[in-house]
């Protein structure tokens, strides 16, 4: 591997076509695409060299995203725009690089991520033929979530490699809003007309030091209210880094 390092940061999307592909397989997909595109990517040393690509915040299976980021280490200087165009030709449907630029941060993208924004579509029942709930119930759900957000502490059970533990997620919820969706575009042009569907937009703490996933947020809402919200779809709309107390995009 060359001692000279040249790093490019890419911004890409993960669409419906690849939402059930694991993070590990996404990494492999990028590695194979770069080999086919003959991108001069740097490799790790050892018996099983791997392309040096650092991704931002791994996406859970089943979640789509408009804003994924990765840092790619190269062995020689490459035009960011040229890398984007060349690599896009080799990536499968559902993965597309929107932007690329020279990486200027000293730290890699994974260590920089501080917050993530999501659209979380939930419903009160799974039965799609259920009649529309009354306006009073809709307002009641909104009020219950507002009351939930006013709590001093919000305990939630988080599962990890070392088992489960109770944490306070209150400081990890930066912003949250809920709206009733009578007709929403769930998948491409396929519309589902449901009166009991809600869109929760949330800005949550993310990254290695503290990370609040949307499914844990919904679980906490159900725990601290008498609601039984079920997740229909999760869509990540943003990843942010903390620069002097201000949340900014990584690219």
Q: What pLDDT is recorded for position 182?
A: 60
pLDDT over threshold 50, residue 43: yes
Q: What pLDDT is recorded for position 191?
A: 39
Q: CB under 8 Å to 213, separation ≥6 — which residues?
A: 60, 204
Q: What pLDDT is recorded for position 163?
A: 82
Q: What pLDDT is recorded for position 124?
A: 80
Q: What pLDDT is recorded for position 130?
A: 43
pLDDT digits (tens, 9 = 90+) for 120-174: 999 886 444 444 444 446 678 888 999 999 999 999 998 877 788 899 999 999 9
Please give the structure tokens belonging to residue 17. Answer: 């076509």
pLDDT over threshold 80, residue 196: no
pLDDT over threshold 70, residue 1: no
Distances (CA, A) of 193 to 17, 49, 59, 131, 227: 23, 50, 28, 11, 21
Q: Judge contact between 20 and 83, C-beta under 8 A.
A: no
Give me the residue label for tokens 């201000």.
246
Task: Report the chain's mean pLDDT, rounded to a whole number.
Answer: 88
Q: Judge contact between 178 and 200, C-beta under 8 A.
A: yes
Q: Mean of the pLDDT values across residues 216-236?
A: 94
Q: What pLDDT is recorded for position 197?
A: 85
Higher pLDDT, 230 or 138: 230
Give me the percent of the chain exceeding a pLDDT of 70.
Answer: 87
Q: What is the CA radius of gyration of the chain?
A: 20
- Answer whether 0.85 is exceeded by the pTM: yes
pLDDT digits (tens, 9 = 90+) for 52-93: 999 999 999 999 999 999 999 999 999 999 999 999 999 999
Q: Judge contact between 115 and 210, C-beta under 8 A.
A: no
Q: What pLDDT is recorded for position 201?
A: 97
Q: What pLDDT is recorded for position 132?
A: 42
Distance CA 225, CA 221 (A): 6
pLDDT digits (tens, 9 = 90+) for 87-132: 999 999 999 999 999 998 889 999 999 999 999 999 886 444 444 4
Q: Mean of the pLDDT values across residues 24-45?
A: 95
The domains of the chain, with CATH numbers, are: 6-104 (3.30.70.580), 113-248 (3.30.70.3190)
């Amino acid at each position: 591997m060359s001692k000279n390092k040249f790093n490019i940061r890419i911004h890409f999307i993960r669409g419906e076509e690849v939402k059930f592909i694991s993070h590990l397989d996404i990494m492999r997909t990028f590695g194979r695409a770069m080999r086919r595109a003959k991108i001069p990517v740097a490799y790790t040393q050892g018996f099983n060299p791997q392309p040096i690509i650092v991704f931002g915040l791994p996406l859970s299976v089943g979640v789509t995203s408009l804003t994924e980021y990765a840092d790619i280490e190269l062995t020689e200087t490459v035009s960011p725009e040229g890398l984007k165009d060349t690599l896009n030709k080799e990536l499968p449907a559902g993965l597309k690089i929107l932007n690329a630029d020279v990486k200027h941060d000293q730290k890699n993208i994974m260590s920089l991520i501080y917050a993530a924004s999501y659209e979380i579509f939930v419903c009160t029942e799974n039965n799609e033929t259920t009649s529309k709930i009354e306006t009073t119930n809709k307002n009641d759900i909104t009020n219950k979530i507002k009351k939930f957000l006013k709590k001093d502490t919000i305990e939630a059970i988080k599962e990890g490699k070392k088992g489960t533990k109770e944490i306070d997620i209150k400081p990890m919820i930066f912003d949250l809003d809920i709206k009733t969706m009578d007709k929403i575009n769930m998948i491409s042009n396929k519309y589902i007309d449901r009166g009991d569907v809600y869109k929760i937009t949330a800005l949550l703490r993310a990254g290695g030091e503290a990370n609040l996933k949307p499914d844990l947020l919904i679980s906490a809402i159900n725990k601290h209210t008498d609601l039984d919200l079920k997740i229909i779809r999760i869509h990540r709309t943003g990843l942010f880094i903390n620069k002097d107390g201000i949340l900014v995009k990584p690219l």
